[in-house]
Amino acid sequence: MPPRSPIREFVDTQQVLGRFWFRKSEIPANEFIGDSTVRVALHRLERERRVVRLWRDFYVVVPAEYSLFGAPPVLWFVDPMMQAMGRPYYVGLLTAVEIHRSMTTSGSFRDAVWKTRAVQVVTDVAMPSIDSGGLSIRFFSKSGAASASTRRVDGPRGPIQVSTPLCTAIDLLANVASVGGVTTIQPVVRELVGLSSIEEGHKELSVCAVRELESVLDLSRQIDPRLETEILRTLRESSASRNPARAQSEGPRRETLSECIRRAPDDIFWKELPSASRVPDYNRIFVWYVRQYYDGSPPPIEVLLRDLEQGRVLNLTTFQRVVATERKARDRLFPESRMSTTSLPGESLPEEDQD
């Protein structure tokens, strides 16, 4: 029997050790094994589907049970692969959603999650996707990837970095066009925000650029105004926990007009018309808002008039615009309430509301 190739023995040893990856530079060299010999041997092993090269000198060992697929699952080797690339990373977006769902329902990662062959990875620079060995690794760039809120979790072949629920939600909103659109992520983002903690909000608040956070909140408002409120509350609570002395000196924060109007019950917000359509009931919304502003009870008329004159309670133009925005948001959630004949607030008030 001819002697076995030392390169093949090296690959077999990696698999025996449970290490399904290696770099070309790790292959021991001597006077009998030169660079050209290593290159030819690795090329032969690639043709035999014993190894697959994913990036430069980074190779993945293919065990026999995965030879028909082309390579083992991505989560087996994503951490050492990103280390070889020298880039910070975390598994995020829809891949992280499946991991969090698995942890929530069973307390551990299901085999179906670990065996996924298409993975979304967030790193700090734009990188081309990897489609090789029956695998698909799609990269998303984020300037704050190195400092993002992540969790180090134990995988079947080693630890990996996974984005926290809040970080995942923000990334989904920031990349909504690449992950299936608003309809796909709407329930997912709401679910993730519900799983978020104050500590995660604290870290994510320090990472997000102001412009990025504004665009994320704007999109969350379009999906569901209450979703924006939930994200803001998580971030705000984390900010208060980070600086409790300042939060105490500032006292309780008064909610904005937009936040208050979003809480208005439907029976307050809408007015039924004889045509079986609905329009915002400006009078009742205004009265309801005033009650909320003054902690549940209307103030003396002199106080109310003074505060209105000074612009402390609200600006009527702003009130009209906020109600218009809230109407659009509720129409998206409940299309059956959409009006087709009444003009939107901001152009002119409906005649029914001008009495």
- Which pLDDT belongs to residue 317? 78
Q: Give the Å distances, CA to CA, from 275 to 7, 285, 344.
A: 80, 21, 17
What's the first-to-final CA gap in the chain, in angstroms? Answer: 101
- Which pLDDT belongs to residue 113? 67
Q: Which two tokens stand for residue 177?
A: 């066009």
- Which pLDDT belongs to residue 193? 73
- Which pLDDT belongs to residue 251? 46
Closest to 135 (Cα-Cα) out of 94, 75, 179: 75
Task: Give the contacts of 141 (CB within 8 A, at least 6 positions apart).
Answer: 122, 123, 124, 125, 126, 127
- Compute the distance between CA of residue 87 and CA of residue 80 in angstroms, rounded to an integer: 11
- Compute the distance between CA of residue 89 and CA of residue 138 in angstroms, rounded to an integer: 12
Beta-strand relationship, 130-132 and 135-141: antiparallel
Closest to 200 (Cα-Cα) out of 152, 166, 240: 166
Of residues 188 and 340, more confidence is placed in 188
Question: Which element (helix H / strand E) includes 23?
Answer: strand 21-23
Residue 204 has pLDDT above 80, yes or no: no
Among the ranges given (65-74, 118-127, 250-259), the one the predictor scored with the smallest mean pLDDT: 250-259
Beta bridge partners of 279: 271
- Which pLDDT belongs to residue 183? 77
**Three-state SS sequence of 161-226:** EEECHHHHHHHHHHCHHHCCCHHHHHHHHHHHHHCCCHHHHHHHHHHCCHHHHHHHHHHHHHHCHH
Q: How confident is the model at residue 326 (pLDDT cuts 50, 70, 90)?
A: confident
- CATH 1.10.10 maps onto the chain at 1-69
Residue 36 has pLDDT above 80, yes or no: yes
Q: Provide long-range contacts, Cβ within 8 A and 24+ apart, for 145-148.
A: 145/88, 145/89, 145/90, 146/88, 147/203, 147/206, 147/207, 148/90, 148/122, 148/203, 148/204, 148/207
- Which pLDDT belongs to residue 30? 65
Of residues 147 and 241, more confidence is placed in 147
How many CA atoms lie within 13 Å of 336's alpha carbon, on the beta-carbon side? 2
pLDDT tens column, 264-277: 888 899 998 887 78
Average confidence score pLDDT of the chain: 77
Q: How confident is the model at residue 80 (pLDDT cuts 50, 70, 90)?
A: very high
Answer yes or no: are the C-beta atoms of 286 and 319 closer than 8 Å.
Answer: yes
- Which pLDDT belongs to residue 62? 94
Stretch 189-215: mean pLDDT, rounded? 59
- Compute the distance between CA of residue 12 and CA of residue 9 in angstroms, rounded to an integer: 5
User: What's this model's pTM, rounded to 2 decimal places?
Assistant: 0.61
Residue 2 has pLDDT above 80, yes or no: no
| DSSP annotation of 276 | S
Stretch 81-104: mean pLDDT, rounded? 91
Beta-strand relationship, 118-123 and 89-91: antiparallel
Looking at 3.30.470, 1.10.600, 3.30.1360, 1.10.10, the CATH number of the domain 1-69 comes to: 1.10.10
Residue 188 has pLDDT above 60, yes or no: yes
- Which pLDDT belongs to residue 105? 66
- Which pLDDT belongs to residue 353? 42
pLDDT tens column, 205-249: 555 544 455 556 666 666 666 666 666 665 555 545 444 454 444
